[in-house]
Amino acid sequence: MNIFSGSACIRFGWETFKKRPWFFIGVFLVVGILSSGGRFQLNDTNYGAATIALFIMAGIAFGVISILAKMGATQLALKAHDNAESATFGDLWAPHPFWKFVGASFVVAIIVGVGLILLIVPGIIWSLRYLFVPYLIMERKLSPFEALKESARITYGHKWQLLGLLGLTVLINILGAILLLVGLLVSIPVSALAMVHAYRILSGQAASTSQQTPTAA
């Protein structure tokens, strides 16, 4: 059985990044640009109805692009984890299953949001429980609620380790931001690869455990 630790995941992310640094920097630059596009506000109340409608349509379009960028980043990270050399920019185009991804993201956001309202701690616990939902949607094409159930099963008993991993990713991204933001070009890909490594380890352990569990006669 693989030993799971946050530091080991970060090391894996770093070693994988070093295999193709410029590729990963380029990928996450593209994803960052697509994910942050279209964030504008209507500060002037004198716009006409046609202009407001155009802004709304543009907002929806940018929202769809942002979701597709996140789906593509998830898919590429999964492929790069298994074979960094085989990953290409074409892997960023992964529009299926769009509505399952949207639905799962919405449900998780609601659950975590409610948990944060309830004295914060439940929100943190639930965010860790459903941390792997995007990977399960993209890799196994599960329905939103199937993905939530499976993520809860995978992460069971590993909340502290996952919290430690998230703490490390936050730390290295803060350090990346301190380095005139240039460091983020390294820290963000490393964090993403570290997270998918955690998913691979824990999903493998969960699968092994379920196979070893004897079925009732």
How far is it, in rounded angstroms, from Cα 162 to Cα 147?
A: 18
Q: Is residue 74 part of a domain?
A: yes
Residue 215: the pLDDT is 42
Domain hosting residue 77, numbered range? 6-207
Residue 42: the pLDDT is 54
pLDDT for residue 65 is more than 50: yes
Give the pLDDT mean for 39-51. Answer: 61
In tens, the pLDDT along 7-22 reads 999 999 999 999 999 9
> pTM for this structure?
0.86
How far is it, in rounded angstroms, from Cα 131 to Cα 40?
A: 29
Residue 217: the pLDDT is 30
Residue 55: the pLDDT is 75
pLDDT for residue 212 is more than 80: no
In tens, the pLDDT along 93-137 reads 999 999 999 999 999 999 999 988 877 888 899 999 999 999 999
Residue 2: the pLDDT is 52
Residue 57: the pLDDT is 86
pLDDT for residue 53 is more than 90: no
pLDDT for residue 38 is more than 80: no
Residue 204: the pLDDT is 85
Residue 118: the pLDDT is 79
In sequence order, what DSSP letters do the residues of the chain get, joined into one string?
-PPP-HHHHHHHHHHHHHHSHHHHHHHHHHHHHHHHTT------TT--HHHHHHHHHHHHHHHHHHHHHHHHHHHHHHHHHH-GGG--GGGG---TTHHHHHHHHHHHHHHHHHHHHTTSHHHHHHHHHTTTHHHHHHHH---HHHHHHHHHHHHTT-HHHHHHHHHHHHHHHHHHHHTTTTTHHHHHHHHHHHHHHHHHHHHHHHHHHHHHSPPP-
pLDDT for residue 59 is more than 50: yes
Give the pLDDT mean for 142-169. Answer: 95
pLDDT band at 44 (very low <50, low <70, confident <90, very high): low
- Higher-scoring residue by pLDDT: 38, 119: 119
Q: Is residue 217 part of a domain?
A: no
Q: Is residue 216 part of a domain?
A: no
Q: Is residue 214 part of a domain?
A: no
How many structural domains compose the chain? 1
Task: Calculate the average pLDDT of the chain.
Answer: 88
Q: What percent of the chain has pLDDT over 90?
A: 68
Q: Is residue 212 part of a domain?
A: no
